[in-house]
């Protein structure tokens, strides 16, 4: 624990001073590596100190900071106990500090490199140096010659060692260079201590300081230069690896692009829809066979041509849609177009068209793709289904659902235009007995005949004859007064009489008859369409009560006044009235 210094065998110093001096020196020597290691670990990695310029710079700072503290502590205690004078304080401090710093700079890098690299990499480096036999031999010979001439014969050629160091770093690597610096330092120290060499022509202290300064600069130069070379090699290695990675990615992207292109070609060729792509100038870039057939041109006849040259009649319809996709980058789906596209077709077809953007590398739409489907047959089927949904399957006139929709629409229209709206409800008299007597098949034929008469008398496009339910029918008469509706009802009643459909079960006639109730009204704000239906229904009830086979038309105000008949009206009126 205690450092034995011969000077302290002089009895002019007390034992306490001896103990204090050794204690402070011991603490200083402990603090020195701790401080250096702490600084270096904060700013760099302790392993591979010369691996990067920044790490090497922090290593130099750490190597100097620890000895700064230990030298200050050691020289200060020496001055305090009287070992040195204040005049010698600076020289002694500099000698201590340089000696400790050089120990870090000279011997730490090769130790760390040997620890990190391992024997396999060390042998690889030696093998690389042996492959360059001539160059390695030249470096060793020149180094030995300069060291011998400078440090043992006294010729000042030490500056040549910097050139050899640079040569060694670039050609033999950082480990060989670090070992070379250590060997040169040992040789220089031995020679100078024996009084030979270019640094020995001054006082001992000056010689030591000059030698330490030279070795320190040589070590720092080797460290920074090795770090620069290693950093350059690492960057080069990263660039090579990046280039290889990029080449692999390019190959993968190229393969993916080819696969995507093949898939797109297959999709274009096999798709059952018309498909095309246009550019910003609305020129065809690509079309498939289906679209070419739709347009009546070969695929090659589309490429480079304006879409308006191929389908001139659709410019006003298509251009705003294409422009919207280019502007917003959003798709526009399922747009219907009724048009005659090809010259061969003389009828308008219904086309379902969807538009979608195609983005460039900056995610900006630079082309627009579109799909075209001929849905003419589907639209025709939809119209048929819609027609069937509005038509009664037996009588082939409007059904109750369609009647309710038209009634509400006409009520609103007459409300706006202050025009009269008339409703006629017709019921076949004693129809249940007709079915019981003649059978349901004959009953259906009877209803069909009645519906035919009603349809013939609903002559205007706005008139609507409908099956209201069972044997009950309705005729909606917009813009028709009550008198006009009554006149039409008499015509219908007379036409039914002319049919002379036999009905043995009727108690009013030997053939089928109708009871008709009429209500007419000019809709006003606050009125309800249900009032019109209730009025016509009440008129029909009156016709039944008065003996059937007759026409009753009550005024609209009657439905708002209490009536002795109101209490006699059942909720569910039998169909045999």
Q: Which of 410, 471, 472, 542 is catalytic?
A: 471
387 and 380 Cβ atoms separated by less than 8 Å = no
Residues 101, 64: Cα–Cα separation, whole Å: 5
d(CA 313, CA 229): 72
* Sheet order of strands, 464-469 included: 464-469, 472-478, 421-428, 514-521, 551-553
Contacts of residues 221-225 at CB distance under 8 Å and 24 or more positions apart, as own/partner, are 221/162, 221/165, 222/165, 222/169, 222/177, 222/178, 222/181, 223/49, 223/50, 223/56, 223/59, 223/60, 223/105, 223/109, 224/53, 224/56, 224/57, 224/60, 225/165, 225/166, 225/169, 225/177
Spatial CB neighbours of 537, under 8 Å, sequence gap ≥ 6: 425, 517
* Environment class of 540 (CB within 10 Å of its CB; exposed 0-12, middle 13-18, buried 19+): buried
The radius of gyration computed from the CA coordinates of the chain, to the nearest angstrom, equals 56
Active site residue 135: no
Give the distance from CA 461 to its chain's centroid. 55
Taking a C-beta distance cutoff of 8 angstroms, is the pair 465, 403 a contact?
Answer: no
Residue ranges of E strands in 69-154: none
In the numeric block, which tokens belong to residue 403?
A: 């009647």
Cα(551)–Cα(285) distance, rounded to whole angstroms? 72
The count of other CB atoms within 10 Å of the CB of residue 281 is 8
Q: Environment class of residue 573 by beta-carbon count within 10 Å: exposed (0-12), middle (13-18) or buried (19+)?
A: middle
User: Closest Cα to residue 176, out of 124, 224, 220?
Assistant: 124
Helical pair 89-131 and 53-81, crossing angle rounded to 10 deg:
150
Alpha-carbon distance 415 to 521, whole Å?
A: 10
CB neighbourhood size of 86 (10 A):
7
Determine the Cα–Cα distance for residues 19 and 25; give it in Å rounded to an integer. 10
The pairing of strands 464-469 and 349-359 is unpaired
The total number of residues shown for the chain amounts to 577
- Which residue, chain included where needed, has tokens 């001096």? 21
CA 339 to chain centre: 37
Residues forming the active site: 471
């Amino acid at each position: 624990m205690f450092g034995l210094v011969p000077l302290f065998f002089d009895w002019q110093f007390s034992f306490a001073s001896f103990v204090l001096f050794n204690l402070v020196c011991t603490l200083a020597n402990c603090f020195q590596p701790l401080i250096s290691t702490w600084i270096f670990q904060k700013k760099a990695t302790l392993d591979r100190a010369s691996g990067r310029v920044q790490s090497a710079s922090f290593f130099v700072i750490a190597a100097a900071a620890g000895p700064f503290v230990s030298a200050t502590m050691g020289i200060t205690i020496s001055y305090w106990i009287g070992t040195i004078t204040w005049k010698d304080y600076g020289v002694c401090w500099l000698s201590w500090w340089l000696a400790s710093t050089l120990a870090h700079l000279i011997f730490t890098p090769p130790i760390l490199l040997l620890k990190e690299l391992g024997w396999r990499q060390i042998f690889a480096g030696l093998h690389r140096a042996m492959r360059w036999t001539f160059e390695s031999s030249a470096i060793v010979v020149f180094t030995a010659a300069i060291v011998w001439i400078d440090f043992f014969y006294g010729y000042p050629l030490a500056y040549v060692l910097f050139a050899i160091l640079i040569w060694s770093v670039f050609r033999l690597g950082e480990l060989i260079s670090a070992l070379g610096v250590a060997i040169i330092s040992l040789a220089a120290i031995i020679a100078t201590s024996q009084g030979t060499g270019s640094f020995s022509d001054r006082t001992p202290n000056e010689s030591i300081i000059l030698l330490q300064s030279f070795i320190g600069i040589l070590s720092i130069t080797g460290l920074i230069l090795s770090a620069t070379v290693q950093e350059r090699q690492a960057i080069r290695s990263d660039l090579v690896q990046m280039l290889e990675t990029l080449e692999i990615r390019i190959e993968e992207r190229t393969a993916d692009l080819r696969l995507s292109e093949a898939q797109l070609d297959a999709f274009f060729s096999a798709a059952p829809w018309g498909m095309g792509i246009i550019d910003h100038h609305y020129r065809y870039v690509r079309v498939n066979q289906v679209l070419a057939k739709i347009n009546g041109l070969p695929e090659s006849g589309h490429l480079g041509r304006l879409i308006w040259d191929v389908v001139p009649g659709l410019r006003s319809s298509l251009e705003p849609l294409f422009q919207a996709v280019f502007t917003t980058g959003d798709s526009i789906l399922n747009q219907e177009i009724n048009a005659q596209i090809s010259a061969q077709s003389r009828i308008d077809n219904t086309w379902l068209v969807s538009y979608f953007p195609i983005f460039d590398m900056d995610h900006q739409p630079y082309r627009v793709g579109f799909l075209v489907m001929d849905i003419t047959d589907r639209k025709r089927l939809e119209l048929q289904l819609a027609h069937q949904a509005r038509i009664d399957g037996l009588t082939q006139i409007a059904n109750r659902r369609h009647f309710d929709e038209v009634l509400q629409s006409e009520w609103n229209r007459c409300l706006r235009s202050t025009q009269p709206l008339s409703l006629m409800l017709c019921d076949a008299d004693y129809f249940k007995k007709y079915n019981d007597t003649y059978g349901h098949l004959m009953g259906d034929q009877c209803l069909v005949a009645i519906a035919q008469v009603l349809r013939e008398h609903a002559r205007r496009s706005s008139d609507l004859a409908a099956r209201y339910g069972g044997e009950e029918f309705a005729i909606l008469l917009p813009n028709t007064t009550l008198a006009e509706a009554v006149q039409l009802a008499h015509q219908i009643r007379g036409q039914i009489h002319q049919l002379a459909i036999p009905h043995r079960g009727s108690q009013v006639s030997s053939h089928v008859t109708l009871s008709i109730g009429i209500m007419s009204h000019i809709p006003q704000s606050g009125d309800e369409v249900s009032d019109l239906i209730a009025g016509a229904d009440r008129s029909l009830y009156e016709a039944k009560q008065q003996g059937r086979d007759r026409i009753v038309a009550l005024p609209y105000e009657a439905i708002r006044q209490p009536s002795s008949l109101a209490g006699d009206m059942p909720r569910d009126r039998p169909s045999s009235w």
